[in-house]
Amino acid sequence: MCCVGVGRYFTSCAVFSNLMCVCLSDLFLCCLCVADLREIVFVIQSQSNSFHMSWAERQRADLLQQTQSLTQTPPPVLLLHSLTDNEGDWSILPLLPDVWRVTSYVYHDADDVTFIPQEWFLGKPLHDEESTIIHHYAFAENPSIFKYPDFSAAWALSIPLLDRLANKVRDDPLKSDFTIDLKHEVALYIWENGHGPRLTAVPELCTEPEHSPTAQHCATTLRRPGEPVKKEDIFVAVKTCKKFHSERVPVVKKTWEREASLLEYYSDHTDPSIPTIDLGVPNTERGHCGKTFAILERYISDAVPKTSWLLVVDDDTLISLPRLQMLLSCYNPSEPVCLGERYGYGLGQGGYSYITGGGGMVFSRAAVVRLLASDCKCYRDDAPDDMVLGMCLNALGLPVTHSSLFHQARPEDYSRDFLAHQVPISFHKHWNIDPVAVFNRWLKDESVSTRPHGLNKSTKEEL
C-alpha cells in the first residue's frame, strides 16, 4: 500500500500477504502491517516525466526506509515507467506478464513464503450512480452494482490472481480499441463477466488529506500541491465556431474567462464583439485537427505574447485556471510536457496515448516547438486533433502525462466518491446541464485572486 506521509505509523492497519500492490507516483506509504514484507510486491504507477519519475524514486526510497524501521527484508518496489518501453504499459494489463515474471523470481528465492490460495482483488470501491458514456453505459439497469477501485488510494491483487491474469494476457492478447477510464476497465477485465473476483473493500486504503484527523486509520492519504505559476505564464486558446458564438462563448465569459490573463477565441468567422480570430480553417463537424495545428503555429509566432504554457480548450469546456496554475507548478516548461486526461488507442496492439481534447490539452512551449519541427501534420482538417497529436507525440517519443483532475465529461458521468476527494480542474459538455451552475458548484473558488497563496491552503491534489 502507499500514501503521502513519511515515517508515520498507526496502531490500526490492515494485514495483507502475497500481494501485488499498485499505487500512484505522488503517494507515499505511511502504514504497512504484514506478516512478512517479502509477501508484497509494490508497483508504483510512475509516468515518463521528470516530476513523476522523481516522485516515484522518493516514494520507493520512503518505502525502503520504512522497512528498515520494521527490521524486515525490503520488498520489491517496481517503477512502472522503467519496466519496459512499451507505450501501452501505463494501462497496467499489458504489463502483467512482466510483473509476474519479477514476482515469481522473488517468491522462488523465498522458500519459506507460503501462498494464499484465494484470488483477491482489493481496493477502495467506487461505483456509478447512473450509466455513463465514459463506461460505455455498462450495467445500465443497475450501475451501482459494479465496484471498481479508486487508483488514488492504491489497489492490490493476490499473487494467484496475478498469475492467472498474466497467463491470460500472454495467451490471449488484449483487443480493446480505446482505453478511457482505466480503473473501470481493469476491474471489468478482472471480473471477467462474473467468472473472476469482484473488488473487496479495504477501509485502510483512503483518499483523505495527508494531515486530516479522519485519516488516523489510513494506510494511504493525499498530498497538497505547491505554489501556483503566474497566470501570465499561460496562453489560453478557445476553439469555437460561428454557430456557437451566441450559445457557448457567453458561458465562458460568465464563468472562467476573467481568470485568464492571455486568451484568444479561434473561429471560422471574425466577430469583433467577442472578439474572435479567423485562422483561415473552415469549421468541421467532426475533428478539428486543422484548427488546432493552426493554433500551435500561432502560439510560437510573434502574433501572441511568449508564454511557458499553452492551454487548448473547446468552447464547451468548463475549467478552473487557478487550479491549473497550481498543477503546473509541478512541471518544468523547458521540458516537452503534454498534460491532460490521458486516453489510449490500441494499447494492447502497439497503439498510442493521447490527451482527450474536451477536458483541456496543456502543452509546454518546448513540446509545441518539438511537435511543429517534426514532419507530423494533419491528414485532413477534420481529423480528430487529440488523436493525431497523440500519434505525433508517440512517433517523437514524447510522453503524454496524465492527471485525473481533467475530465472529458460532465460531473454526473463520474462516481461521486471519486470526485469527493478531488478539487477538479475541468469538465466538458453542456448537454442536459446548466453549465454556469456546474461551474459555480465544482470549479469556482471564491476570491481566488485576493488570497496571498491562491489555493494552497485548501486544494487537495492528485497529480
Query: For 256-296, what is each residue's pLDDT tens digit?
Result: 999 999 999 999 999 999 999 999 998 887 889 999 999 99
How do residues 422-431 score in pLDDT, each as one tens digit?
Answer: 999 999 999 9
Q: Would the pTM count as exceeding 0.75?
A: yes
Q: Which residues contact 397 (CB under 8 A, 6 or more apart)?
A: none
Is the per-residue pLDDT at 27 higher than 70? no
How do residues 356-391 score in pLDDT, each as one tens digit?
Answer: 999 999 999 999 999 999 989 999 999 999 999 999
Question: Confidence band (pLDDT; 50, 70, 90) for 196?
Answer: very high
Q: Which three cell numbers stand for residue 40?
A: 508484497
How do residues 79-88 score in pLDDT, each as one tens digit?
Answer: 999 988 887 8
Is the per-residue pLDDT at 15 higher than 80? no
More confident residue, 252 or 215: 252
Percent of the chain with pLDDT over 70: 85
Quick one: which H or E segment has residue 22?
A: strand 19-24
Is the per-residue pLDDT at 402 higher than 80? yes
How do residues 300-356 score in pLDDT, each as one tens digit?
Answer: 999 999 999 999 999 999 999 999 999 999 999 999 999 999 999 999 888 999 999
* pLDDT for 346: 92
Q: Per-residue pLDDT averaged across 182-206, rounded?
A: 95
Q: Tell me how far the alpha carbon of residue 327 is from its chain's centroid.
A: 12
* Whole-angstrom distance, CA of residue 276 vs CA of residue 267: 6
* pLDDT for 185: 96
| Angle in degrees, CA 402, 405, 406, rounded to 5 | 75
Query: What does pLDDT average to over the chain?
Result: 86
Alpha-carbon radius of gyration of the chain: 22
Closest CA to 118 of 27, 59, 198: 198
Residue 242, Cβ density class (10 Å: 0-12 exposed, 13-18 middle, ≥19 buried): middle
Is the per-residue pLDDT at 136 higher than 50? yes
* pLDDT for 357: 96
* pLDDT for 87: 79
* pLDDT for 120: 94
